[in-house]
Amino acid sequence: MSKIWDIHGGIHPAENKQQSLTGPLQAVSLPDSLILPLSQHIGVPASPVVSVGDKVLKGQLIAAAKGFVSAPVHAPSSGIISAIEERAVPHVSGMQAPCIVIETDGHDRWIEHSAIADYRKQTAAELVAIIRDAGITGLGGAGFPSAVKLQPQQAIDTLIINATECEPYITADDQLMRQRSADILIGIDILAHILGDPERVLIGIEDNKPEAQEALAKALADKSANRHGPVIDVVEFPTKYPSGGEKQLIQILTGKEVPSGKLPADLGIVCQNIGTTYAIYRAICHGEPLISRITTVTGKACNKPGNFEVLIGTPVAHLLEQAGFDDTLCPQLVMGGPMMGFALPSTAVPVVKATNCLLATTAEETPALPPAQACIRCGHCADVCPANLLPQQLYWHAQSRNYERLEAHHLGDCIECGACSYVCPSNIPLVQYYRAAKGEIRLINEEKQQSDRARIRFERHQARIEQEERDKAAKREARKLAAEAAKAKRETDAKTVSTDTKNASAEKGTSDLDVVQAAMARVAANKASPQDQRKRFERAIETTAARLAKAEQALEALMKDAKTDCTKEQLAQRDQQRASVEQARLRHQEAKNKLAALDADQASEQETEPALKANRSDDPALDRAATAIARAQKNAAEQALMSPQQKLQQLRDTLEKRLSKAQARLAQAKSEDSDQLEAFGNAVAILNEKIKAADLELAAFDQSRPPANKQTEKSEETQ
């Protein structure tokens, strides 16, 4: 006999289990239609893989798992998919959710399925994949996909099978153990094999199920001869609600407390419900997916209470009919137990994977709760809390919606067992407050995440807009600078021409003038040393001669080759070579000419114009400078000739040209009904204004003509 530990708190509500244990496990007749919600588990809803009108067989996959924490859905019977739509699901809100509806054909024909002959020969991963594909979820009530639990990252040394079933009225697991304990043991062996044969395998069972214990013990004795798996220990412990909570059961059986925010796997423990274990046995040893479960139907509003093996998706009304349900006696129908269950909004909802009980109680059995009174700080709730929380404090903070304090008091560790509500002498629905607060906190966290995302998106949006603005501004700035530089250059060019070229090198200007000045300085330098120049020309003659000779040689070689074999490419090459020979010759000739010219210049001792000319072809920079000077000279001459009035007139003319262009564009935009109509309109208006301004200036100029003229003359003189 293993040692057992005690948990804090707990209550002893009336068990009311005998009503549903009078008869054997009953089968349920095939309903006309089966309604299968896509989300019967915790995690991402499954996505349909069939469409309306499809024929499906019993056990056929109709909705596939989507993501890691998800479970597929299978057809519980053969028939035709009649709808994939929103239907009422078993949820306290009475809301609808996507469901697949199957019209059964009554044949109940199985799809081809095969069992694993010897699961010991399979790897854990293969078996887990089968369990996952069979759509098995925790049948204890929470509906967490079992395959996820069977793939722990941590090493597992203890496997716990939860056969506690601590909530009043429910006897589904009890009945299962009484009738199918041998199969359950095989399921446990499979689980142990998947988890690498943990040291201990414990079945936790309350002492209010002696028959189930006996059945298990008998099956164990029968099997012990030819069993391979680890030793299975059936651990009995005193009945107390809520011993069946996963964390509570672990504490009872191992004495270890699962820390807040951690999983049992962190302690090397995996816990599975006994019903789930049976479903796993069916999946591995019979190849059957999870399409049916055992559900307790009880309460005094049913005259034939009992446990029913029911197909998932069977409408609750159909199941209740089998149990002799009297609608008039039952003020509210509950799915689940009296402690943690919830009232069903209608009987049209289907039985789902997590439906362990339908509780049809009369008003006498579960009277309406008397109105809540003020909390008297008796502290009973704290005494019974199995999670060691302070329910009163949680109640105060939940009332004032102080979520920070609620989290500080570990609201998240509340298992919503309802023990506090049960003992409250003031009838305060404590657990309702915690459920509401938990929901609000979850929503707030979700909103927070969403707003964080919105903040990031907004900041990126702003950054992008700013970057665009900066780029635009930079471009504008660059254009402005370029325009200024060009203007300055024009001005200095004009100045340089008007002053003596000899003084050019001495003249100081803005940085924009540097190029021109440098060029002028070089001109002057060249002028100053004709000896150097001569040397350079001589060197140029030499190099060009050498290049010419080389090019001629290459051409000859090519011609020779071409005689033997002449392709298009070679022809082209030859032509090219010929051209380069010609060029080299020209260069050579030019250099010779220049030298001759220089000699002639020196002879005549004339230093001004010809030197510039000789230099022109020698230095490309100088060449450009010279042309620029020439252009500037011309411009300056023209500008000098042009009166200010004429300048204004010219400006006005250009403006008018632009206006006519803009008007044309506007007209086009109008005819095309373009989005940019407004922009074009604006542009025309601006141009009109500018022209008006120019006209005004012109008029003003006309009036004050004589003095203005004088002024310009004066300014020209000073230049």
Asked if 13 interacts with other proteins (CB under 8 A), we say: yes
Asked if 277 interacts with other proteins (CB under 8 A), we say: no
Stretch that binds other proteins, among 448-456, 518-526, 562-570, 624-632 (CB under 8 A): 448-456
List the interface residues with other proteins, window 382-401 (CB under 8 A).
398-399, 401
Stretch that binds other proteins, among 261-269, 278-286, 430-438, 584-592 (CB under 8 A): 430-438
Between residues 352 and 497, which has the closer beta carbon with respect to other proteins? 352
Residue of 107, 218, 286, 461 interacting with other proteins (CB under 8 A)? 461
Stretch that binds other proteins, among 185-193, 256-264, 454-462, 647-655 (CB under 8 A): 454-462
List the interface residues with other proteins, window 665-704 (CB under 8 A).
675
Does residue 242 have a cis peptide bond before it, meaning omega lies within 30 degrees of 0? yes
List the interface residues with other proteins, window 346-375 (CB under 8 A).
361, 364-369, 371-372
Asked if 332 interacts with other proteins (CB under 8 A), we say: yes
Alpha helices of 400-513 — where are they, by DSSP H?
A: 403-408, 419-423, 430-498
Between residues 435 and 592, which has the closer beta carbon with respect to other proteins? 435
Residue of 71, 101, 310, 340 interacting with other proteins (CB under 8 A)? 340
Asked if 458 interacts with other proteins (CB under 8 A), we say: yes
Between residues 89 and 219, which has the closer beta carbon with respect to other proteins? 89
List the interface residues with other proteins, window 82-121 (CB under 8 A).
89, 91-95, 97
- The Cβ of residue 562 has, within 10 Å, a number of other Cβ atoms equal to 14
Query: CA 339, CA 362: separation in Å to the nearest integer?
Result: 16
List the interface residues with other proteins, window 596-615 (CB under 8 A).
none
- Residue 353 CB, nearest approach to other proteins (Å): 16
Asked if 459 interacts with other proteins (CB under 8 A), we say: yes
Asked if 273 interacts with other proteins (CB under 8 A), we say: no
Whole-number Cα distances in Å, 545 to 184, 534, 539, 549 = 106, 17, 10, 6
Residue that is written with structure tokens 């002024």 in the block = 711
Q: Are strands 61-64 and 232-237 parallel, antiparallel or unpaired?
A: unpaired
Stretch that binds other proteins, among 19-27, 122-130, 427-435, 642-650 (CB under 8 A): 427-435
Asked if 418 interacts with other proteins (CB under 8 A), we say: yes
> CA-CA-CA-CA torsion for 204, 206, 207, 209, nearest 10 degrees?
-100
Nearby residues of 286 by Cβ (< 8 Å), 6 or more positions away: 113, 115
The site for other proteins, by CB under 8 A, has a size of: 65
- Residue 99 CB, nearest approach to other proteins (Å): 12
- Residue 421 CB, nearest approach to other proteins (Å): 5
Q: Are strands 158-162 and 269-273 parallel, antiparallel or unpaired?
A: parallel
Q: Are strands 357-361 and 292-298 parallel, antiparallel or unpaired?
A: parallel
List the interface residues with other proteins, window 157-176 (CB under 8 A).
168
Between residues 346 and 529, which has the closer beta carbon with respect to other proteins? 346
**What is the radius of gyration, based on Cα positions, of the chain?**
49
| DSSP at 136 | -
Stretch that binds other proteins, among 301-309, 441-449, 509-517, 634-642 (CB under 8 A): 441-449
The DSSP annotation for 427-448 comes to: ---HHHHHHHHHHHHHHHHHHH
Residue of 105, 109, 324, 342 interacting with other proteins (CB under 8 A)? 342
- Residue 10 CB, nearest approach to other proteins (Å): 13
Residue of 52, 142, 454, 525 interacting with other proteins (CB under 8 A)? 454
Phi and psi of 74, rounded to 5°? -120, 160
Asked if 429 interacts with other proteins (CB under 8 A), we say: yes
Q: Which of 237, 262, 242, 6 is nearest to 140 (CA)?
A: 242
- Residue 373 CB, nearest approach to other proteins (Å): 8
Q: Which of 248, 306, 251, 312 is nearest to 279 (CA)?
A: 312
List the interface residues with other proteins, window 15-44 (CB under 8 A).
16, 39
The phi-psi region of residue 275 (left if phi > 0; otherwise alpha if psi is between -120 and 50; otherwise beta) is alpha
Residue of 9, 48, 198, 338 interacting with other proteins (CB under 8 A)? 338
Asked if 478 interacts with other proteins (CB under 8 A), we say: no
Between residues 385 and 519, which has the closer beta carbon with respect to other proteins? 385
Asked if 436 interacts with other proteins (CB under 8 A), we say: yes
- HSE at residue 75, side-chain half, CA atoms within 13 A, is 29
Nearby residues of 610 by Cβ (< 8 Å), 6 or more positions away: 597, 600, 601
Asked if 463 interacts with other proteins (CB under 8 A), we say: no
- Residue 92 CB, nearest approach to other proteins (Å): 6
- Residue 684 CB, nearest approach to other proteins (Å): 22
Between residues 389 and 431, which has the closer beta carbon with respect to other proteins? 431
- Residue 358 CB, nearest approach to other proteins (Å): 14
Residue of 154, 388, 451, 499 interacting with other proteins (CB under 8 A)? 451
- Residue 423 CB, nearest approach to other proteins (Å): 8
* CB-based contact 95:355 (threshold 8 Å): no
Extract the tokens encoding 615: 């230099």
DSSP helix/strand/coil, 108: coil
- Residue 458 CB, nearest approach to other proteins (Å): 5
- The Cβ of residue 586 has, within 10 Å, a number of other Cβ atoms equal to 12
Whole-number Cα distances in Å, 713 to 42, 518, 642, 644, 710 = 94, 31, 11, 11, 5
Asked if 472 interacts with other proteins (CB under 8 A), we say: no
Whole-number Cα distances in Å, 277 to 131, 173, 295, 338 = 11, 11, 16, 25
Does residue 289 have a cis peptide bond before it, meaning omega lies within 30 degrees of 0? no
- HSE at residue 411, side-chain half, CA atoms within 13 A, is 28
- Residue 394 CB, nearest approach to other proteins (Å): 12
| DSSP at 258 | P
* CB-based contact 165:171 (threshold 8 Å): yes
The length of the chain in residues reads: 719
Q: Are strands 200-206 and 158-162 parallel, antiparallel or unpaired?
A: parallel
- The Cβ of residue 466 has, within 10 Å, a number of other Cβ atoms equal to 10
* CB-based contact 351:386 (threshold 8 Å): no
Residue of 283, 437, 497, 625 interacting with other proteins (CB under 8 A)? 437
- Residue 497 CB, nearest approach to other proteins (Å): 52
Asked if 304 interacts with other proteins (CB under 8 A), we say: no
Q: Which of 703, 615, 691 is nearest to 660 (CA)?
A: 691
- Residue 425 CB, nearest approach to other proteins (Å): 11
Binding residues for other proteins (CB under 8 A): 12-14, 16, 39, 89, 91-95, 97, 168, 332, 334, 338-345, 361, 364-369, 371-372, 398-399, 401, 418, 421-422, 429, 431-433, 435-440, 442-443, 446-447, 450-455, 457-462, 675
